Structures are given as C-alpha cells and as structure tokens.
Amino acid sequence: MGRFLRIAALFFGVVLVIAWSANSGPSEGSLEKIKKRGYITWGSDAEGGAPYVFPDPKAPSRLIGFEVDLAGAIARELGVEARQAQNAWDSLIPALGRGDFDIAMNGLEITPRRQEKILFSIPYYVYTEQLVVRKEESGIEGVNDLVGKRVGTLSGTVAQEILGNIGGVDVRVYSGQVEPYEDLSLGRIDAVLLDLPIAAYYGRPNPKLKYTGAPVGEGFYAIAMRKSDGDLKKKIDEILDKLVRTGELKSIYERWDLWNASQAKLTLDKKASSGYAGVEESKKAPLRTFLPGLLKGAGITILISTASMLLAISLGLVLVLMRLYSRPLVSTIAVTYIEFFRGTPLLIQLYILYYGLPNLGVVLSPVVAACLGLGMNYAAYEAELYRAGISSVPKGQMEAALSLGMTRRLALRRIILPQALRVAIPGVTNDFIALFKDSSLVSVIAMVELTKTYSILAATTLRFFELGLIVAFLYFGMSYPLSLMARRLEKRLKAGMR
C-alpha cells in the first residue's frame, strides 16, 4: 500500500506542475500581432467537415466550405490572409485558450457554458437541429418520439444536450459527421439529430434517408476568441456586421444552399445574446455527478478489454500451433496473419471491420466489432509470445515425451505448452495492461467507453482537467492491480521451476 501511495503522490505532483506551468496563457494584443504578421489563423476541423470546411473533392489539397469563404472575407477586411489551423472539433476551445490559433470558427454554438471560457462574436449563422430517419421509418415524427430509440449525434454538440435532456434516449455519440448517417442507413441506429447544415450535406443526399419533424433548438453560430482579445472581438463584430449589411454573407450562404428564413434574425439580433438556453449548469455541478457516467464507461472498458483479451489468448494459441506444427500452407497463412496484424495500425483495422465490412454486406455491432478488432490484433502479439515460450523449452522435452510413446499432439498439450505458457505469462499480462489502454481506440467506432465518456463530458463542460485526473485514476486503478498480479505470478513461476 505504501508503494501505491508514493506512486499516486508522484503522479499528482507531476500533473500539478504541468497544470501550473501551462497556466501562463497567451500574451495580449492579438489584433496587432495579426496585422503585423499578415495572416490570421482560424481553428477548425476539416475531417468530415462539409459543408463548413472540408477538402475539395476535386482537389483535396485545397479546403472549401462556407466557413472558408467567410474566413476569406474577414481576412480581406482585416487586410491580411486567412490560414486554417486543423484541430479536432472536440478540443477547439481548449486549443484556442492555449493559443494554438487566433480565432475558432467551426459551427460553434453560442452556449452559456462556452461563454464563460471564451468571447463570442456576434452570430454569423442561425442554425436549427434537424432530425433524420430512414425512408421507411414511420414511428418517429419529432424529437418527442425518440424515447427508447437509438439516436446518433456528434460529441459536444447542442444536439447532444437536447437529446440528453429528453431523457430515456439511447444516445450514440460519434466524432465524425459521416459515420452517424452511415450507421443510420445500415440500421445500426434509428435516427440522427444534428445541425441543419450537416444534415443538408450528409443526410439529405442519401436516398435511404429523409428529414422528419420541424427543426428544433434554434441557435447561433459565432466566432470564438480568447477572453483577453477584446479588441479583436470588436473588430470582428464590425466586419461581420458589414458582411450582413452588404449582403455578402447572404450570397455565401446561397452559394452553399444554406440560406433560409431563419437567417433574417442575423440582422435583427446583432447582440450576442445567449442563443441557446435551458441547459442545466453542468459546469458548476459537483464532480461526483459525473461519476456514474464515468464508472459506466469504465465498466464498458473492462468488458471490452476482457472479452478481447480472451479472444486474443485463444486465437493466439491457434495461430502459433498453425505456424509451428502445421502443413506449410497453413503455416504460411498464420505467418501472414501475424505479420499483417502486427504491421498495420489497429485504428485502420477497426475502421475496416466497422465501416469497411458493411460494403461486403457484413454489418457488425459496435461491441462485436470492438472485441473482434482488439482481439484479432492482440492475437498476433500473443502468438509471438507463445512462440518465444515454445522455443525456450529444451528439445529434450519433446524427445522424452515421444520416447514414452506419446503422440506429438499429446506431447504438445501435456509437456510443451504448459512449460511454454509459463514463460509467456508475464508478457501476456503485460499485453493485457496495454490492451486496457488501447481499448480507448474503439471510441472511433461509436463505442462509448471510458476515454470516450471523458471526451464527451469534457467537451460539453470544458472541465478537461478535473475530469481528466479522475479518468486517469480510473485507468490506473484498473491496470495497477493487473501489474501487481503479473509481478507476483512471475515470481511464483520462477520459484516453481528451474
């Protein structure tokens, strides 16, 4: 126990030092700096970012989108050039606070919670949330029909909050805009609720999908700036006001087919009022209110890790037997498998399993895809550990077994493998610990496990620090007993045999 406390104290110390040193924020006078440097950097996420900002399908090295046009107009008014800074949407605001770019403009909804952290310009777009379902769906006609249904949305969006507030909705949170509509058309979920521009670009063109119900949750997109950049905000507000008055903004939206009656509000409501209200203040909620959610995420992490480790352990055994003791063809298949899975990123393997296989008519549920993906990947590593174990068993053991009249198969099972596994066990336990942490990768296939729960909660509450500490401790609390066990096992095995 003393050792545990010492490690915990060290961990805390390191975290505090990092937190403290990171607090010396960016310096003042961004507007002057922008003008001097000749360009303004704007943070946004171009990954699956249409129609906001995304790579031109005809020339993928070029970014297009209505926000690209808007950024260009703003920069022109400032007399500078616009440069996009790529950043994951979930973490745009922390990155802005860190000083990674001058402004963040990427469909950021004005919410009271965000307003506490950053300055918002006057709005540049009035968005609504649009519900999309499959063509044949008849039971869902509005958000109130969503109770008990599986509904996809993006992490950290207002749509997610709306769904959370309805209560009883099985919310599936994605980090990209393509995937929810993809899963909807495959029948993995029942509906998708997202901002109208997203629905217009990704949902409407899909022949299997349709809009349903009236738009809900009207609100405003605005440009985010650091609290210290009051002068920049003033300038940007002036520019936006000018773009509205001259009609340039309208023509941008018309070009992108985003103009609608709601946009009239832009001219009426120039003050940055809180666009979307009625969400409880989870910002100030005590930390323990997040615990049930985090614990549920931890439970899913344990479930996925354990299931995939069991698969990896047994599949790895099959692989090593194929590799070492089978006909050349079978052996080659095993070697190819092992090399392929060790030589390609787990992330790609997960994408292929989850989003690629449906093209061939195989639709896996997120849990199955997650366990299969992790398990099949780790099986390759376990197979190599077993192989090292087997080659550490002296040749005389097999010969002694054979000379007693055992078949090769029996000798393997009773004599060779028990000794080989003892050698492999420490490595296998280490892999289990690594798998625990790698399990966070499955969040890309819509599994909400611990890391994903964290990034969702943190993105909505902006409490990256406290929640991060809790999550780190949850992971540590799961993996540390494992490594203790591994060490004890290793000692016992060493004592048991020469």
Q: Is 205 in the site for another protein (CB under 8 A)?
A: no
Q: For residue 496, state whether it binds another protein (rule: CB under 8 A).
A: yes
Q: How far is the CB of 329 from another protein (least distance, A)?
A: 12
Binding mask 395-434 for another protein (x = CB under 8 A): -xx-xxxxxxxxx--x---xx--xx--x------------
Nearer to another protein among residue 361 and residue 496 (C-beta): 496
**In terms of CB distance, is 9 or 410 closer to another protein?**
410
CB-nearer residue toward another protein: 192 or 415? 415
- For the bound state, the minimum distance from the C-beta of residue 456 to another protein, rounded and expressed in Å, comes to 48
Task: Between 299 and 418, name the residue whose CB sits nearer to another protein.
Answer: 418
Closest distance of CB 471 from another protein, Å:
41
Using the minimum distance from each CB to another protein, give the nearer residue, 357 or 398: 398
Residue 347 vs 402, nearer CB to another protein: 402
CB of 406 to another protein, least distance (A): 6
Burial of 255 (0-12, 13-18, 19+ CB in 10 A): exposed
* Least Å from the CB of residue 422 to another protein: 7
Amino acid symbol at 376: M
How many Å apart are CA 235 and CA 183, to the nearest integer?
A: 43
Is 483 an interacting residue with respect to another protein (CB under 8 A)?
no
Which residue's CB is nearer to another protein, number 162 or number 415? 415
Whose Cβ is closer to another protein: residue 361's or residue 405's?
405
- 3-state SS of the chain is CHHHHHHHHHHHHHHHHHHHHCCCCCCCCHHHHHHHHCEEEEEECCCCCCCCCEEECCEEEEEECHHHHHHHHHHHHHCCEEEEEECCHHHHHHHHHHCCCCEECCCCECCHHHHHHEEECCCCEEEEEEEEEECCCCCCCCHHHHCCCEEEEECCCHHHHHHHHHCCCEEEEECCCHHHHHHHHHCCCCEEEEEHHHHHHHHCCCCCEEEEEEEEEEEEECCEEECCCHHHHHHHHHHHHHHHHHCHHHHHHHHCCCCCHHHHHHHHCCCCCCCCCCCCCCCCCCHHHHHHHHHHHHHHHHHHHHHHHHHHHHHHHHHHHHHHHCCHHHHHHHHHHHHHHHHCCHHHHHHHHHHHHHHHCCCCCHHHHHHHHHHHHHHHHHHHHHHHHHHCCCHHHHHHHHHCCCCHHHHHHHHHHHHHHHHHHHHHHHHHHHHHHHHHHHHHHCCCCHHHHHHHHHHHHCCHHHHHHHHHHHHHHHHHHHHHHHHHHHHHHHHHCC
Which of 36, 62, 288, 498 lies at the binding interface for another protein (CB under 8 A)?
Answer: 498
Stretch that binds another protein, among 12-20, 271-279, 393-401, 428-436 (CB under 8 A): 393-401
330 binds another protein (CB under 8 A): no
Q: How many chain residues touch another protein (CB under 8 A)?
A: 21
329 part of the interface to another protein, by CB under 8 A: no
The nearer residue to another protein, 416 or 471, going by C-beta atoms, is: 416
Terminal CA-CA length for the chain: 31
Give min distance, CB of 312 to another protein, in A: 24
Question: Minimum distance between the CB of residue 396 and another protein, rounded to whole angstroms?
Answer: 4
Q: How far is the CB of 426 from another protein (least distance, A)?
A: 16
Nearer to another protein by C-beta: 417 or 470? 417
Query: Which span (239-247, 366-374, 389-397, 464-472) binds another protein, by CB under 8 A?
Result: 389-397
Which residues of the chain form contacts with another protein (CB under 8 A)? 394, 396-397, 399-407, 410, 414-415, 418-419, 422, 496-498
